[in-house]
Structure 1
Amino acid sequence: MEMCAGGEDPRPSRHEAIGERVRALALESGARPADHGFGFMFPALCGPAHRLAPEPRTLKDLARLAAVMAEPGDSPPPPRVRSDGDGDLPAAYTYLVEFLRNDLVWERRAPDEARLGPDAFAPLPSLSGLLNRRSGGLDLDSVYDSPRDPQAVRRMLVGTVSPKQKDCPHGRPPRAGLGNDLPRHPRSSEPARDRAARMSDARNDEHLILGQLHVAFLKAHNALIGSGLSFETARRALRRRFQWMVLFDLLPKLCAPDVLENVMAEGPRRWRVERPTALFMPVELSAAALVLAPSMRRPSYDYNGNFRHVEHSALATRSVFAAGRDGPESLPEHHVISWDGFLPLAADAPQRARRLDTLIAGAPESAEALATHHLLRGFRLGLPTGQALARHLGLRPLKDDTLLAALPDHQRVAALPFCEATPLWFYILAEAGDPEGPAGRHLGPVGSRIVAEALWTLALHSDASILSPGTVPDVARFSLSDLILLAAEEDGRKL
């Protein structure tokens, strides 16, 4: 991994020229940081003929389908024991996908859309009432929407961990420093503010693994500052590394090789945006094709030396701070993640993400609630069905017997009403899990086309884009493992 050279600050881009204080005030008031919101990647499929039927029966059928998406079984195997549902990706990529989606999309409804009436679950007449509070680009908007260190304003503020409990055998993982928490507000009588992360969007603080990944980005910026870069240069360098990570590390792990090769060589065939002012967030991506973390999540993890075979839900951040006045001021040091268990950073093989399919691991009630949310969300947005989109792309769709054959036995009865018109999110997962196709290793042709074209286009129009003509990359490669190693350099300076 190479560090980019220092030098004079690059000239701020159009987005960066907006004052930081103005941006913070705009976000607090609910304004969007860009001039666009959401739209359809495939506008020709917006009509009723290409959607699920807006009938009460459809909602009941969606609820039945959600109920069977929970993975059956009472006791999950230990995280390091390979089981039938495991894929090949290191487990950390589950949370990179979730981090990426949170960084691209932070939805806000216009005031009139917030008041849902009796037709709350009828498809929206348009997407104009949905506003994206994120920039919509691969520019680490969620990271740089955090406070800077007041003692050294070129650096991002990182929180200090609290001492471990006396009865806990292990403290921080080896070589981990004290700066390994998100910056937090102090104790407060207001539950929503009590030791909450100091960021306008709290989603990355909902789960320990996701929060620790966010901390890694903050520390990576500070490591670049430690190499002698200015704030603007370090921000641009980290944004470009993030784009490289998404395009050349994550996408090859998610997309079908032939689709990705075609997009990288020739650019998008279906979604071309020539001007940044015409850019929007495709709902086919945000509400379907990039909603992959629920399928990839393990039911339990070996989180570090203290917490092994721990249920995913037990790693919710709120459980760490639930002790009220007697609880810690910040993340206790024995809750710092051991990345060796999630990425190939040591001799032992890391835990694996679950393969991509229509099953969601974990407590059945939680899995069903999550599936219900995403299925109803796709219906509410008026997403095209998987078959309509496949035909539009010139592909032979999964339908009837071929769709049912791609599903586990216990899902087939609930899927019968959707054999010819399948919710897009479910279709993309079924296509990925098809034993006659990708078999869970990566997305199928429909999901791959949406993800590859959308992320390529969003990267092209991002600040400091590595796809801009004439751009000279300042790194030869940058993977998720490289991010963690770069963040660890900051730990080395603080030890």
Structure 2
Amino acid sequence: MTTGSDEQRPSTREAISARVRSLAIEAGARPSDHGFGRMFPALATPSRGIGEGPRTLKDLARLAAAMAATAEGPDGRPPRRRGEGDADIPAAYAFLVEFVLNDLVWERRPVEEAGVAGATGCAPIGTFSSLFNRRSGCLDLESVYDAPRDPAAVRRMLLGEVWRNPLGEPALPPKKSPRNDLPRHPRALDPARDRVPRMSDARNDRSLPLSQLHVAFLKAHNALVATGRSFEAARRALRQRYQWMVLFDLLPKIADPAVVEAVMSEGPLLWRQDRPGDIFIPVEFWAAAFAIAPSLARPSYDYNRHLRDTEAAALSTRAALGPSGSGPDGLPANLVIAWEGFLPLEAEAPQRARRLDTTLAGAPDTVEAAALRHLSRGYRLGLPSGQAVAQHLGLKPLRDDTLLAALPEAQRVAALPFCEATPLWFYILAEAGDPAGPAGKHLGPVGSRIVAEALWTLARHSDASILAPGELRDFDRFTLSDLVLLAAEEDG
């Protein structure tokens, strides 16, 4: 999973805009929109990092290869039967993490990561002035509302119809309406244009579960409109429910409960932004602490009654749509998700996400590529080491034997060069998986503090924030299950 960045081919208009921005920066201008910054600026020195130069890059490549060597594949066990590598978190929350990160961060010109293993003279960037976040950096559901409304009912968001041939095959699942797909452009020979969603950011269409989660948000907005709300009132209501879901449903599942309770009761201690205009996305959050979807992802899923124990890689939307210019007009009707397999919506327990640790699921080459992307991004952004952050927080860091003890044996040799200064993303996963610590149940103290403070601050400065003093809301709680149930009202 690659989240928070976009690698699609830019349009001519976007290319021209990027050139104009580049020229403006060269002339001394600075972007007025929200961008990126450091949660711990005092640690932005080479002595607090993991080292620089070709040797460090080669060591990062070896570490990524070691993560591939421990890659977890399907084991033939029915996904809904609990296994050793499962966490207590329902499987859908892995996709919610990915959705939230995509909603917060859309870096159109991601940090260059190609050729890291063999690069020479490659140094971390010294400034973030060339990085642009096209999102507000707040929990405003921009990824949902940056899309067309239904022209037949402008208060509603536009949905797409699932595909069935003239004979009605494949059949719709029970209790599902035809409108259970993203609105799509027509077939085209150009893969970059072929049946892509009618929204500016198509990252949430990369996998079927993530795409169906995005559909659930669209349908939830329409269900709120169906209660008599205007477009603006429905958007406000859904944004507030989303903020509640992130802070009080998702966050307690992935972070240390004690840290979450402290941040919710006392507010942030380390990263407090009091003025809305000062809000930015901390790179320690974006590129490390909240980049945990690859660790939570399962090797296989029971997607619905047609796709049982299906490898995660086979659940790509492109595979479902088929080759460019041919195949169905949209998502085939038999590929609508069965949410009861991902969330506790029925008596049988749902599939669970993987526990948090340095073992990722998937084919070894896919895992190595994903690990190298994350490790490379942290290097290029000049992130501090995990030990430096832990010491800054007044915590006893994992290092040497305690770090190695938290890792699978097959990763320990490759981790030796980083025993004293570990890449922050890898350190946070190791800390979460530490058998003497959280043992994969949730993030450890460093990861929990970064994620909890960042999400609290970003929510506080979101539109109609539920954390604003005196802010009223028309609900008591709203979980991911509640979102799916609300969206299901549109199928009635």
TM over 0.5, shorter chain: yes
- Structure 1 residues 215 and 50, CA gap change in structure 2 (3 angstroms): same
Residues 376-391 of structure 1 correspond to what in structure 2 (within 5 A)?
Answer: 376-391=376-391
Provide the rounded CA distance (Å) in 2 between the counterparts of 1:465 and 1:289.
Answer: 23
Q: Does 1:365 align with 2:365?
A: yes
Report which stretch shifted further, 224-233 or 314-323.
314-323
Instruction: Tell me which amino acid in the other structure corresponds to 1:201.
Output: D
Paired residue for 1:161? 162
Deviations 1:321-367 (A, max 9, x none): 22444400010100100000000001111000000000111101001
Paired residue for 1:17? none
- Structure 1 residues 162 and 465, CA gap change in structure 2 (3 angstroms): same
Give yes or no for contact 1:33–1:135 (8 Å, CA) kept in 2. no
Instruction: Tell me which amino acid in the other structure corresponds to 1:37.
Output: G
Paired residue for 1:454? 454
1:227 is paired with a residue of what secondary structure? Answer: coil
Give yes or no for contact 1:164–1:333 (8 Å, CA) kept in 2. no
Give yes or no for contact 2:71–2:367 (8 Å, CA) kept in 1. no
Gaps of 5+ in 2: 1-12, 22-29
Q: Give the C-alpha shift of residue 167 in structure 1.
A: 12
Gaps of 5+ in 1: 1-24
Residues 281-320 of structure 1 correspond to what in structure 2 (within 5 A)?
Answer: 281-320=281-320
Deviations 1:218-246 (A, max 9, x none): 00000000010000000000000000000
- Structure 1 residues 126 and 36, CA gap change in structure 2 (3 angstroms): same
Paired residue for 2:63? 65
Paired residue for 1:346? 346
- Structure 1 residues 416 and 115, CA gap change in structure 2 (3 angstroms): closer
- Structure 1 residues 354 and 189, CA gap change in structure 2 (3 angstroms): same
Deviations 1:264-286 (A, max 9, x none): 01000000101001111100010
Q: Give the C-alpha shift of residue 74 in structure 1.
A: 5.6
Q: Does 1:131 align with 2:132?
A: yes
Deviations 1:374-428 (A, max 9, x none): 0011000000000000000000000001101111111111111110000000000
Residues 80-159 of structure 1 correspond to what in structure 2 (within 5 A)?
Answer: 80-109=80-109, 121-159=122-160
Paired residue for 2:410? 410
Deviations 1:256-306 (A, max 9, x none): 111111100100000010100111110001000111110000111000010
How large is the RMSD of aligned CA atoms in angstroms?
Answer: 2.4
Provide the rounded CA distance (Å) in 2 between the counterparts of 1:189 and 1:61.
Answer: 41
Give yes or no for contact 1:212–1:336 (8 Å, CA) kept in 2. yes
Q: Give the C-alpha shift of residue 75 in structure 1.
A: 4.4
**Identical aligned pairs, as a percentage?**
65
Provide the rounded CA distance (Å) in 1 between the counterparts of 2:390 and 2:279.
Answer: 23
- Structure 1 residues 226 and 28, CA gap change in structure 2 (3 angstroms): farther
Paired residue for 1:37? 35
- Structure 1 residues 114 and 412, CA gap change in structure 2 (3 angstroms): closer
Give yes or no for contact 1:295–1:357 (8 Å, CA) kept in 2. yes
Provide the rounded CA distance (Å) in 2 between the counterparts of 1:68 and 1:78.
Answer: 27
1:184 is paired with a residue of what secondary structure? Answer: coil
Provide the rounded CA distance (Å) in 2 between the counterparts of 1:197 and 1:251.
Answer: 29
Report which stretch shifted further, 372-381 or 76-85.
76-85
Provide the rounded CA distance (Å) in 1 between the counterparts of 2:14 and 2:62.
Answer: 41
Deviations 1:443-478 (A, max 9, x none): 000000000000000000011100111112221000
- Structure 1 residues 360 and 175, CA gap change in structure 2 (3 angstroms): same
Provide the rounded CA distance (Å) in 1 between the counterparts of 2:99 and 2:307.
Answer: 23
Paired residue for 2:25? none
Paired residue for 2:431? 431
Provide the rounded CA distance (Å) in 2 between the counterparts of 1:337 and 1:34.
Answer: 40
Instruction: Tell me which amino acid in the other structure corresponds to 2:38.
Output: F
Give yes or no for contact 1:164–1:332 (8 Å, CA) kept in 2. no
Paired residue for 2:10? none
Provide the rounded CA distance (Å) in 2 between the counterparts of 1:28 and 1:490.
Answer: 41
Instruction: Tell me which amino acid in the other structure corresponds to 2:34.
Output: H
Provide the rounded CA distance (Å) in 1 between the counterparts of 2:370 and 2:44.
Answer: 25
Paired residue for 1:374? 374
2:374 is paired with a residue of what secondary structure? Answer: helix
1:154 is paired with a residue of what secondary structure? Answer: strand
- Structure 1 residues 166 and 378, CA gap change in structure 2 (3 angstroms): farther
Provide the rounded CA distance (Å) in 1 between the counterparts of 2:278 and 2:405.
Answer: 41
Q: Give the C-alpha shift of residue 81 in structure 1.
A: 2.5
Report which stretch shifted further, 386-395 or 324-333.
324-333
- Structure 1 residues 299 and 113, CA gap change in structure 2 (3 angstroms): closer
Paired residue for 1:474? 474
Report which stretch shifted further, 378-387 or 407-416.
407-416
Task: Report how many aligned residue pairs link the two structures.
Answer: 466
Give yes or no for contact 1:121–1:379 (8 Å, CA) kept in 2. no
